[in-house]
Amino acid sequence: MREKITVIGSLNYDIVLKIPRLPECGETLPADSAVFSPGGKGANQAVQAAKLGVPVHMVGCVGDDGHGQILLEAARRYGVDTEHVRRCKEPTGMGIINAMEDGSVFACIVRGANFAVKKEDIDQAKEILKDTFLAVLQMEIPQEINCYAIEKAKEWGCKVLLNAAPAEEIPLDYLKMCDIIVLNEVEAGFYLKIDVKNEKDARKGAALLAETCGSDIIITLGKTGAVVSEGGKVTFIPSRKVEAIEATGAGDSFIGGVGYALKSGKSLTDACRFATCCSAVTVCRMGAQDAMPFLEEVMELEKQR
């Protein structure tokens, strides 16, 4: 039986600035604090699944620099196998995140080494992927490579979860190959060309995307919750109510949680219920990977239903 999750995607060195508001043009705004944290959607999702106890492999690139070293060490410390993370001459990717007092975030990324991932990196992970039950991808590596990875992961027998973030046009044929597509409200708005602001919009959007792609769809709605379309049945799952401090990586924590729960045999809808507990813990601490919970912490929160 296939046990592994393999994440093909980005690793970023994040700088999270806690600020009271966004600066005006021409203004220099003092930040309340700065946190340096291992991040990148791919690495975050890998770390969350590994922290929950799944055997996780990561495929990607970091620079041959200090940040790259920090990211590799963090991923390994949390249990991610980084044998297929290649070091390259491009600088390690970065995330610059402005975190507001209400927990919302405004982020930019520097692609750097993430854009050095090649088809050969996917080919070299063939044996791992042949033993993988869930391949997890995002959109922070070149799209051509992502599409190749989707194709290969399917060919080698994996279930494919695509977190189509950051939003970018992608050929429908590749979306149709994905078993599960995960979007937040902003990304859902981009792909659907409609406003996705609440449960009602997300239900409509998930149903529409499910019909178009033939995939299961998850639309996350931040502190409101998530809508999941599984086999055409659309369900709303409310978020756990917590005192959020900072939301970087909350969506990645959710996806890592979905991966763990699917591996434990849960349905996608129940996996999303479990995943809301993961992201609820993550938003209560600063940064991405360091903020993500271990299994015991999630179980503790689950008991409080």
Closest listed residue to residue 289, CA positions, set 122, 56, 133: 56
Show contacts with ligand RIB in window 44-63 (CB under 6 A).
44
- Alpha helix positions (H), 66-183: 66-77, 119-124, 126-129, 143-155, 172-177
- From candidates 10, 48, 184, 229, binder to ligand RIB by CB under 6 A: 10
**Residue 35 near residue 249, CB atoms below 8 Å:** no
Q: Which amino acid is at 23?
A: P
| 105 vs 147 by CB, closer to ligand RIB | 105
Buried-state track 200-224, b at ≥16 Cβ within 10 A, e below 16: ebbbbbbbbbbeebebbbbbbbbbb
Does residue number 86 form part of the binding site for ligand RIB (CB under 6 A)?
no
Does residue number 95 form part of the binding site for ligand RIB (CB under 6 A)?
yes
Does residue number 187 form part of the binding site for ligand RIB (CB under 6 A)?
no
Going by their DSSP bridges, the two strands 105-110 and 93-100 should be labelled as: antiparallel
Q: Reply yes or no on whether 81 is catalytic.
A: no
At which residue do the structure tokens 């409101």 appear? 224
**What is the closest distance, in whole angstroms, from the C-beta atom of residue 62 to ligand RIB in the complex?**
12
DSSP 184: E
Q: Give the count of beta carbons closer than 10 Å to the beta carbon of residue 170.
A: 18
**What is the closest distance, in whole angstroms, from the C-beta atom of residue 205 to ligand RIB in the complex?**
20
| 74 vs 128 by CB, closer to ligand RIB | 74
Q: Which helix (H) or strand (E) holds 45?
A: helix 41-51
Q: Which amino acid is at 55?
A: P
Closest listed residue to residue 39, CA positions, set 269, 253, 281: 253
| 107 vs 207 by CB, closer to ligand RIB | 107
- From candidates 4, 5, 7, 41, binder to ligand RIB by CB under 6 A: 41
**What is the closest distance, in whole angstroms, from the C-beta atom of residue 69 to ligand RIB in the complex?**
17
| 66 vs 157 by CB, closer to ligand RIB | 66
Alpha carbon distance 97, 205 (integer Å): 28
At which residue do the structure tokens 């999702």 appear? 45
**Among 35-43, 192-200, 205-213, 223-231, which window interacts with ligand RIB (CB under 6 A)?**
35-43
Binding mask 268-287 for ligand RIB (x = CB under 6 A): --------------------
Does residue number 140 form part of the binding site for ligand RIB (CB under 6 A)?
yes
**Is the peptide bond between 38 and the residue preceding it cis, with omega within 30 degrees of 0?**
no
Longest CA–CA span in the chain (Å) reads 58
| 248 vs 269 by CB, closer to ligand RIB | 248
Backbone angles phi, psi at 159, to 5 degrees: -80, 140
Please identify which of the residues 216, 252, 270, 290 carries the catalytic annotation. Answer: 252
Does residue number 39 form part of the binding site for ligand RIB (CB under 6 A)?
yes
**What is the closest distance, in whole angstroms, from the C-beta atom of residue 207 to ligand RIB in the complex?**
26
Show contacts with ligand RIB in window 243-272 (CB under 6 A).
248-249, 251-252
**Among 36-44, 63-71, 177-185, 201-209, which window interacts with ligand RIB (CB under 6 A)?**
36-44
Binding site for ligand RIB (CB under 6 A): 10, 12, 14, 39-41, 44, 95, 107, 109, 140, 248-249, 251-252, 288
Kindly list the catalytic residues: 252
